[in-house]
Each structure stands twice: as structure tokens, then as C-alpha cells.
């Protein structure tokens, strides 16, 4: 990865005008022919697996990003990725909760980038399905064997990469896009999203009282660095370490975070979903108060997350219990992952329809 001590305005301005050239070229080629478009749609909706990926490579030869979809970057460290997967398996339940309570609303603060989600209407009108698809993606790329020949990480990432290119294509064709927002799903926004699933999750865990070692943080973020690379993110927007990740996060936040009606509407759809599926004893004020705590008052106000401050005794209890959980015996990572994923599937029977 390229070493950048400073993410300049000039650099990020350029990145807002860049998408994913290889995937965008592929989409233009496929969408020019109804038969090819149908072929791609069939593949996108099919079951996961390495053989299934081979079908796409056979159907559309000559596209380097597809042919190399299973090649890790030269800087990838399989041992570190394994450590990151073990960390996820140990904390999978709370990490998945943090995606809804923190990571996604964090992204909605980026007013220009969030406009893509707003215009597509999918996250607003099909909130449950879209959040479910995001959760499945995370489960699939974070599994202990996700990047093995029997895993489905490579294919799931390629599907998202192609989907992003298709969204860029349709958004630009819609006539609703303002070029002052940058390119739909541009490099800067992709970098911010990757950080929200990695750096921001670690931040959330610590805010909830979990003890996260520097080794575990580096390992978890390394997996997401690999995911970012395979998703088409430019390497100079993939931080080498936590310090650089903080610098990039701060730069994007300074440039892109602003109050927006569409960011508030997206957040409203998200919180309505979270409250509707809540089966715990936590009240609506507890959940929204926890979101305000995790996001911070300024960001929560920007997103119109209105709730009383979470009582200090509840926050102390949460942190204490989570700190104790941090030191419990780890157990077998694969068993932990399988048990947690099985519980997720049980709670979401629509998963069976997906495969």
C-alpha cells in the first residue's frame, strides 16, 4: 500500500470524480446487450460458490477484475486475516448490532454520498431487505474460511463491486444526479464506507466497554483493507495502520459530513426498522439513546436522532458487562462463528430464500 501521511483536499477532490473504471466498463458492455444483461442478472441472483464464480469468468472472458477476483493483494497477510476472523467470531453479535447502531448512520452523515442511497429508494422502501443483504455480506466475508477455496468471500465481494457499478450507471442515467456531489459511489465515499465497517466498529466496541487489543484492531482492519482492495478501492485510500485510518476518517468527515434531509430520512428508516425488530427489554429511548451516545451528540443531532440521554447507570452496567465478556475464554473460533451465524439465520428465515 502507498504511504500517505496526509489525505489532502486535492487528493480527495480527485477521488470524488473516480468510480471503478474496470467494473464500470464491464457494466456498460453488459448493459448494451439485453441477453448479456440477463446472463449477469441470473448470475447475481444465483447461489454462492467457487464454481459459480467460474461461470461468470467463462461467460465474460477478458475482464481482468473478474479473472483476478480471487487474487489477494501482494500485501495481504493470511495469518493476520485469520486473527481478524477469530476476533469477529468472538464478537460477532455485538459487531452486527453496531453496524445498525453506529456504522450505517455514520455513513448517512456524508450528505453527498448518502444521496445515492436516497435516490435509489431501495434503502428507504426495502429497508429490511437491504439491511439484511448488508448483514449477510459481512457474515460471509468475516467467516474463518471466507477466503479459502471453500469460502464465498471472493464471490460476495465481486457481486458488491458489480452492483456498485450498476448503481453508478443507473444513477447517472436517471437525470437526477448533480455532478457537484461527485461521482455516485466514488472512491472517497467507498473509503469512508470501508472505515465505517472497520475503524468505526472498533471505536464503538471500545465505547461499549470491550477491551480490544492493538493486535486485534490491526487484524480486523486488515481484513477490511483486503475487502476494500477487492471491491475496487484505490490502494492510496487503504490506510496502512490505525493512525492513517484516523487521518482519513477525519479528512472525510471534515469534507463531507453535513445536515441533510435525505440523511435524516435514511436514518429514520433505519431506526424504525431497528425498533420494529427489537425483541429485547430495551425501550425505544434506550436504543436511540445508545445510538446518540455512540455517534456523539453533534452527529446524532445532524441525523435527527431524538431521545433522552442514556442514563449513566445503564451505560455503566453495559460497559461493565462487556468488559467482563472481553476476558471470557475464547473457545473455538469456527464453532463460535457457526453458532452465531446459525442464530442469525434462525432469526431471519428469509435467508433460506436467498440461497
100 falls in which pLDDT band (50, 70, 90)?
A: very high
- Would you say residue 1 has pLDDT above 70? no
The predicted structure's pLDDT at residue 122: 59
What confidence category does residue 47 fall into, taking pLDDT thresholds of 50, 70 and 90?
low
Q: What integer pLDDT is reported at residue 3 of this predicted model?
A: 46
With cut-offs at 50, 70 and 90, classify the pLDDT of residue 248. Answer: very high
CA 205, CA 183: separation in Å to the nearest integer?
32
The predicted pLDDT at position 343 comes to: 87
Q: What does the pLDDT read at residue 229?
A: 98
> Is a pLDDT exceeding 80 seen at residue 92?
yes
pLDDT for the residue 124: 59
Q: Alpha carbon of 155 to those of 53, 55, 341: distances in Å?
A: 6, 11, 19
If one compares 340 and 188, the residue with the highest pLDDT of the two is: 188
Residues with Cβ within 8 Å of 259's Cβ and at least 6 positions away in sequence, in order, are: 111, 302
In this prediction, residue 349 carries a pLDDT of 64
The better pLDDT of the pair 129, 156 is held by 156
Integer Cα distance of 211 and 195 in angstroms: 20
pLDDT for 327:
77
SS3 257: strand
Position 36 pLDDT exceeds 50: yes
What percent of the chain stands above pLDDT 90?
78
pLDDT score recorded for residue 123: 57
Q: Look up cell 448470475; give the residue.
A: 43
Residues facing 110 on adjacent strands = 257
Q: H helices of 296-350, where? A: 297-302, 312-326, 333-347
Specify the pLDDT at position 165.
97
Residue 331 has pLDDT above 90, yes or no: no
Q: Of the candidates 146, 152, 138, which has an alpha carbon nearest to the alpha carbon of residue 51?
A: 152
Q: What is residue 5's predicted lDDT score, i.e. its pLDDT? A: 52
- Rounded mean pLDDT, 61-88: 96
Q: State the average pLDDT over residues 129-158.
A: 92
**Residue 240, CA distances (Å) to 4, 107, 222, 248, 253 in order:** 9, 21, 9, 11, 19
Instruction: Provide the CA 31 distance to its chain's centre, in angstroms.
Output: 26
Please state the rounded mean pLDDT for residues 44-69.
Answer: 88
| Predicted confidence (pLDDT) at residue 4 exceeds the cutoff of 50 | no
Per-residue pLDDT, averaged over 160-186, amounts to 95
pLDDT exceeds 70 at position 45: yes
Task: Round the average pLDDT of the chain to a whole number and report it.
Answer: 92
Determine contact, residues 100/274, Cβ cutoff 8 Å.
yes
Neighbours of 234 (CB within 10 A): 18
Which cell goes with 159?
457481486
Collapsing DSSP states into helix, strand and coil, what is residue 6? Answer: coil
The model's pTM is 0.93
The dihedral of CA 332, 334, 336, 339: what is its sign?
negative
CA-to-CA distance for 333 and 216, rounded, in angstroms? 14
Question: What is the mean pLDDT of the segment spanning 282-295?
Answer: 96
Q: Are 184 and 42 in contact (CB under 8 A)?
A: no
Checking if the pLDDT of 125 tops 70, the result is no
Contacts of 230 (CB under 8 A, 6+ apart): 69, 72, 73, 154, 157, 158, 161
Amino acid at each position: 500500500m502507498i504511504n500517505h501521511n496526509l489525505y489532502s483536499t486535492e487528493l480527495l477532490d480527485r477521488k470524488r470524480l473516480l468510480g471503478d473504471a474496470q467494473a464500470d466498463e464491464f457494466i456498460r458492455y453488459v448493459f448494451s446487450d439485453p441477453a448479456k444483461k440477463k446472463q449477469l442478472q441470473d448470475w447475481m441472483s444465483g447461489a454462492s460458490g467457487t464454481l459459480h464464480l467460474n461461470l461468470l469468468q467463462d461467460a465474460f472472458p477478458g475482464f481482468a477484475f473478474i479473472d483476478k477476483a480471487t487474487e489477494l493483494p501482494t500485501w495481504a497477510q493470511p495469518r493476520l486475516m485469520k486473527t481478524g476472523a477469530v476476533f469477529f467470531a468472538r464478537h460477532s453479535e455485538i459487531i452486527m448490532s453496531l453496524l445498525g447502531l453506529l456504522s450505517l448512520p455514520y455513513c448517512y452523515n456524508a450528505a453527498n454520498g448518502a444521496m445515492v442511497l436516497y435516490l435509489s429508494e431501495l434503502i428507504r422502501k426495502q429497508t429490511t431487505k437491504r439491511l439484511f443483504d448488508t448483514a449477510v455480506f459481512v457474515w460471509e466475508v468475516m467467516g474463518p474460511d471466507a477466503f479459502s477455496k471453500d469460502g464465498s468471500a471472493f464471490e460476495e465481494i465481486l457481486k458488491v463491486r458489480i452492483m456498485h457499478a450498476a448503481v453508478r450507471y443507473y444513477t447517472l442515467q436517471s437525470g437526477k444526479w448533480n455532478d457537484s456531489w461527485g461521482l455516485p459511489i466514488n472512491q472517497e465515499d467507498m473509503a469512508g464506507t470501508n472505515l465505517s465497517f472497520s475503524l468505526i466498529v472498533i471505536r464503538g466496541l471500545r465505547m461499549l466497554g470491550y477491551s480490544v487489543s492493538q493486535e486485534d484492531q490491526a487484524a480486523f482492519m486488515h481484513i477490511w483493507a483486503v475487502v476494500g482492495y477487492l471491491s475496487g478501492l484505490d490502494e492510496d485510500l487503504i490506510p496502512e495502520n490505525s493512525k492513517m485510518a484516523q487521518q482519513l476518517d477525519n479528512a472525510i468527515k471534515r469534507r463531507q459530513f453535513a445536515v441533510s434531509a435525505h440523511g435524516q430520512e435514511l436514518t429514520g428508516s433505519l431506526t424504525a426498522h431497528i425498533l420494529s425488530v427489537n425483541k429485547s427489554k430495551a425501550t425505544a429511548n434506550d436504543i436511540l439513546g445508545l445510538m446518540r451516545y455512540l455517534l456523539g451528540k453533534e452527529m446524532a443531532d445532524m441525523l435527527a436522532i431524538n431521545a433522552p440521554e442514556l442514563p449513566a447507570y445503564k451505560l455503566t452496567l453495559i460497559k461493565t458487562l462487556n468488559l467482563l465478556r472481553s476476558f471470557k475464554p475464547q473457545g473455538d473460533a469456527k464453532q463460535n462463528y457457526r453458532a452465531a451465524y446459525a442464530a442469525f439465520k434462525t432469526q431471519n428465515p428469509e435467508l433460506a430464500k436467498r440461497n
